[in-house]
Structure 1
């Protein structure tokens, strides 16, 4: 038999980063809040699996030190962001080339000064023009490294093309937000062609970079999302959270009052004043916030639009000898295999591998074909220039609903208030990114508190007991 009704000011359905961030804002405002999560742990898609001392992200979205949401969201003040080496390492024609090192790049601590950009919608800067001189590629031990020239396999084109790319990144980092917001919206692939950079630079650098940042190999994503991603790349450094992707939801959960989050509780229906669960019956409340993924949200809110998704497969390997690419993100400018991007992540974050072991994490975009691990090994042998046949496979994880497809026309501020008392948030309400999920939670919380006028708690939250067997 189920226990009687329980009360709270707000019930949040879903303990991903959007739901936990919203709960943190609500409890900080003095609002009694209950978070209900169907899974047995918090985090949703931002999960990290532990295997033999390794920490393996299920999806592992790339973050930037320039994302102010990662520093300014309540509960994430102590989040440690560990940066990759500056720019990216492009592999083309058997060589590595360092690219995308802009003057705006800074370490993890530099992101603390990004408060003014918190609510900005970023976009690509206006047409580039020649400016600073070209950057020479960084030498990788054991590899032949050359200055990119106008030949087959050179991803950045001529020295003039490289200068234009550097000028574009510099202008992008400093363009006023009003100018960025005024740019027309196109699919990202079309926007790249329309903005004046040489085809070699677009195909050899921007396409593989954006595919990795957006998890969209065909670049059908709205140019607004692409602009946001490129702006963050130009202003900061690509990075990973220390300890794995789970560090974000776990820090948010620890910042909540004890007893706020309840896992293993399946919500079956919602209204503006109650939530019904399979395990504990009905929770009565003053408002309900749905913070699940888009598909689960639509099951509770019939009529809510469900976007398409970009599937992602992540393959984790370990080897006794680390490839000599340092802590770089490696992209294949030739697009000669299934791997979109790869890195020796234990060089970026040593906590992800046991002492003396190496963790190589590679991402495949789209639905994986048969024998994905063998195809990935073959591709990695070319990208790293070392034999991979003896690498040990730790995990192959495929997520079909990994990233919401954000095709144009796109509203970066999708409504979060459905009715007075019923709200929704998540990455499907914003830019389809981790910062987008956090921004949507902030918007939903603000709308909820305004509607309900919660200057003081409405109820005293009762503890949630374990359901008794019949």
Structure 2
């Protein structure tokens, strides 16, 4: 049988599934991606709301991710980069804490800010330099602590932990207690130190569209729900059975495979709200942090909308990671109040609100890599997805690659 005649199905058109298809194509196979939604991209979605382009959950791309560099042509994504640092609302004003080794113009603003002590800032510099020298493999073989304990052990003051690390990495990990593994902290910190932090001009969905644009021999079936996966066939929701020589499940597998019924993934959730305002209060090249313990807002980002309906308007993204019991109306009221009192924005037009119940998988322990053979669940069925390794774009892409290589290696053994 020719490689192109092998029936290989990939369930899920997120980053894992898309990269798996790219790898399979490179080895001569013609896979089929089955996606239950009407779009590709999984958790990376961009929508149009009243003429404005908004991501479903504010997300950035860390350009230093190895697999992002390998599978995406970054120059084609039209990336807008943020300054290496953050603007933090502290002592009734906005102050900057930045990596001046990568952006020398930030040195005075960083050293003169009241965010932490000079000792804290020297420790941040020391940590950044040490992680640049530490390999990703070494990071994931390091002692596995809670990030909060790691920071305390490193000698950071409570002030810098509260004003910078908790809001900054809380927005990345989507939890405000920094219980996330210190391995994940070191990995993300290393990526921040080694490359730019960016968002695509046309939204985060640009990345999955870019990956799918590389396909030459891959079919994508949208609006198609899978009910069950067996070793040699796939049962669709309409009870249609499809023969499958190999299947990669690049989504949650517990409801699709009989022996995984009790192995559910837990998730971090978040709220993402968008407003329109003419009042830009911080440089749009910075991510703004609100470290106040009574503030519900974690971070804000001003995004200039040149194609907006009104000139001089900015799209304002607000992310909430703290748990709360507000309904949408109460949440909007609370956010408006905080934007007025902390950020000084008087004029706000509410645009939209996304509650994202499955924003990031909660993983313990976290891993960096997996052998292709380890992605094999049982005869003919392989698993992929960032929940297998760590909650990152890099892990999603890597797991898809490994699952595809699992099929390729098995085919070589059979021939």
**Partner residue in 1 for 2:164:** 205
Secondary structure of 1:220's partner?
coil
1:363 to 319, 340, 357: 319
Secondary structure of 1:343's partner?
strand
How big is the shift at 1:76?
6.7
Describe how 1:135-284 pairs up with structure 2 within 5 A: 135-137=107-109, 147-148=112-113, 154-157=114-117, 159-177=118-136, 179-257=138-216, 260-279=219-238, 281-284=240-243
Give the Cα–Cα distance (whole angstroms) in 2 for the partners of residues 345 and 302 of structure 1: 45
- What per-residue deviation string (whole Å, max 9, x for no partner) do you get for residues 391-431 of structure 1? 11111100111110123x33344642212411111111111
CA-based RMSD of the aligned residues comes to: 2.7
**Partner residue in 2 for 1:381:** 340
Q: 1:291 to 1:156 in 2, by over 3 A?
A: same
**Partner residue in 1 for 2:11:** 13
How big is the shift at 1:201?
2.1
Q: 1:455 to 1:49 in 2, by over 3 A?
A: farther
How big is the shift at 1:105?
6.5
**Partner residue in 1 for 2:296:** 338
**Partner residue in 2 for 1:316:** 274
How big is the shift at 1:75?
7.3
Give the Cα–Cα distance (whole angstroms) in 1 for the partners of residues 414 and 208 of structure 2: 27
**Partner residue in 2 for 1:115:** none
| 1:18/1:425 contact within 8 Å kept | yes
Give the Cα–Cα distance (whole angstroms) in 2 for the partners of residues 137 and 34 of structure 1: 52
| 1:93/1:334 contact within 8 Å kept | no
**Partner residue in 1 for 2:71:** 73
Secondary structure of 1:162's partner?
helix
How big is the shift at 1:136?
2.6
How big is the shift at 1:27?
1.6
| 1:38/1:264 contact within 8 Å kept | yes
How big is the shift at 1:88?
1.0
**Partner residue in 1 for 2:393:** 434
Give the Cα–Cα distance (whole angstroms) in 2 for the partners of residues 8 and 332 of structure 1: 53
Secondary structure of 1:137's partner?
helix
**Partner residue in 1 for 2:355:** 398
Give the Cα–Cα distance (whole angstroms) in 2 for the partners of residues 199 and 243 of structure 1: 39
Describe how 1:282-301 pairs up with structure 2 within 5 A: 282-292=241-251, 294=252, 297-301=253-257
**Partner residue in 2 for 1:326:** 284
How big is the shift at 1:369?
3.0
Normalised by the length of structure 2, the TM-score is: 0.88
Secondary structure of 2:234's partner?
strand
5+ long unaligned stretches in structure 1: 1-6, 107-133, 139-145, 149-153, 457-470
**Partner residue in 1 for 2:32:** 34
Give the Cα–Cα distance (whole angstroms) in 2 for the partners of residues 175 and 27 of structure 1: 34
- What per-residue deviation string (whole Å, max 9, x for no partner) do you get for residues 302-347 of structure 1? 4442222110110001113333433210112334311111110237
Secondary structure of 1:309's partner?
strand
Q: 1:313 to 1:282 in 2, by over 3 A?
A: same
